[in-house]
Every structure is written in C-alpha cells, then in structure tokens.
Amino acid sequence: MSNVQVHRNYKLATYFILAAVAVGIFKVISIYWDSDLTSSEIYIPVLMNALVLFLLLWLSVNIAKGRNWARITFAVLTASILVMAPFVVLNEFNASMTTGVLSSLFGLFLLIALLLLYSRGAREWYADQLDNISEKIE
C-alpha cells in the first residue's frame, strides 16, 4: 500500500490524543503515588486506566496513518468517556483539585481531537480517498 499524505487535521488530532495520554499518565501517577501498590484494591483501577491509555495510544498511531476504522473506534471510545465525564470529574474535583484539573484536560483534549477528526476538511479528505480507491479498482 502506498503512503498517502494525511489531512492535517488527522495529524493535529493525533497530537491532541497524545497530549491526553500524557495527561492521563500523569493523572494516574498523581493518584496512586502514595498508595500501597501491594493492595489488591488498586490493581483493577490502575489496569483499567492503563488499558484505556494504551488503546488511545494505539488508536492515535493508526489515526496518524489515516485509518478510518481507528477514527471510528476513537469516536466511540471518546463518546463513552465523555458521557461519563461529568460524574467522574465532579467526584475527582471533590477529592483533589489537581486530579480534577487533569481529568478536565484529558476530556478536553479528547473532545478537540474528535472535533478535528470529524471536521469538514477531514471528512472531505476521507471521501476523496474513497473515490481514489474506487477509481483504481475500476
């Protein structure tokens, strides 16, 4: 498969996703830094956070390559995160101002990336790519 120049919104969205992953890593470290890591109560939340961050990282790599399935998967994952965000962020602001701000930044970066991926220019670029593929097949 040949290398295709990806629309700039895809690249910019990738940077926002990577920024969200960095904020997420910092948030997890700040939450569990003083915790007893041998406690079994911590394993599941840390594992779930790590899984979501790894999935976002993997999706960002594929979005940077212009893969539409990654864009759609990212949209579903981000929508599910953002639906729960108000409840989580309010609870985290009650626990710690730093954690609440980090969670807000995480959600904001994901929302910006989602808007960039589904902007008019990115959608037109993808439609052009589909037209080019169908022309080559015929």
pLDDT of residue 59: 96
State the pLDDT at residue 134.
57
Angle between helices 40-64 and 8-32 (to 10 degrees): 170
* Residues whose CB falls within 8 Å of the CB of residue 126, separated by 6 or more in sequence, listed in order: 7, 66, 68, 71
- CA-closest candidate to residue 117, choices 79, 89, 88: 79
Q: What is the pTM of this model?
A: 0.84
Long-range Cβ contacts of 28-34 (<8 Å, 24+ apart): 28/53, 30/96, 30/98, 30/99, 30/102, 31/99
For residue 2, what pLDDT is reported? 47
Sequential pLDDT tens for the chain (138 residues): 445 577 788 889 999 999 999 999 999 988 888 776 666 677 788 888 999 999 999 999 999 888 889 999 999 999 999 898 888 888 888 888 988 999 999 999 999 999 999 888 877 877 777 666 655 665
